[in-house]
Structure 1
């Protein structure tokens, strides 16, 4: 039995926890909040540390020092953060859904995340290249899209 099927999120060791990340980069997109309604809007503007082609953090160990509002996911907060993508392995496991068929731990290939359209690879703008006053113009709904359960 695979570790993610056998253990609760709280029981995973650090290596297992990190392995659950599918590398999509969706959590590293800038979110905007409508001041009037509180509605969260996702943009196609990515964190200054996210590589737009590899979807990897360029300074993962020091990300919270360099980006103070970077949120470290934990078994506790993954259940509480409303903007965690529905495709996210941490959210899926917290909701009892299991990993999606395209997740690298299931498919055996990290390219599957890109192939099914979950990855932000090549679809974003670096936050330092876009004026924050223009972020609202970069609102997108594709990060909410989910691939079918099976192809």
Structure 2
């Protein structure tokens, strides 16, 4: 009997993933927790260096993930059913990559086994972010870092 050697993210769709597989796709970059601004003229989305008040600025992990909606009601929950809306996610995001039928990058911990590579390779903004509690919302556009593609 032949066994499929492809990793789960290559042989399953997002809808087929169990909860553990789904959660394991997150590389811990924290980019989805950065504040974003939308250009009203062309609907482009721009990432800022301003992080959600719950994001740990060094580890890029939510400080209260299980209760995040109580503190940040407009926090977006990624689900397989919303995969068609993942275009605003950074191009390095595993959820977006898998939804587009692509493989994970070599630095992703599911590939290399090292959760720190996302920071070592400077994919995350670890150490380069500011908390939303320290920057007035009117000043966020001064902290743009990239446009979502």
| TM-score (norm. length: structure 2) | 0.90
Question: What's the counterpart of residue 74 of structure 2?
Answer: 69
Aligned to 1:80, what secondary structure does the other structure show?
helix
* CA distance in structure 2 between the aligned counterparts of 1:3 and 1:24, rounded to whole angstroms: 21
* CA distance in structure 2 between the aligned counterparts of 1:5 and 1:75, rounded to whole angstroms: 15
Greater CA deviation, 89-98 or 5-14?
5-14
Shift of 1:37: 3.1
CA contact (8 A) 2:38 2:46 kept: yes
CA contact (8 A) 1:24 1:120 kept: yes
- The alignment status of 1:120 with 2:125, answered yes or no, reads yes
| TM-score (norm. length: structure 1) | 0.89
Aligned to 2:35, what secondary structure does the other structure show?
strand
Structure 2 segments unaligned to the other structure (5+ residues): none
Shift of 1:75: 1.1
Question: Which of 33, 46, 65 lines up with 1:41 in the alignment?
Answer: 46
- The alignment status of 1:9 with 2:14, answered yes or no, reads yes
Shift of 1:77: 1.3
Aligned residues: 144
Question: What's the counterpart of residue 35 of structure 2?
Answer: 30
Question: What's the counterpart of residue 109 of structure 1?
Answer: 114
* CA distance in structure 2 between the aligned counterparts of 1:114 and 1:15, rounded to whole angstroms: 22
Question: What's the counterpart of residue 18 of structure 1?
Answer: 23
Shift of 1:139: 1.1
Greater Cα radius of gyration, structure 1 or 2:
2
- The alignment status of 1:139 with 2:140, answered yes or no, reads no
Aligned to 2:58, what secondary structure does the other structure show?
coil
- The alignment status of 1:52 with 2:50, answered yes or no, reads no
- The alignment status of 1:91 with 2:96, answered yes or no, reads yes
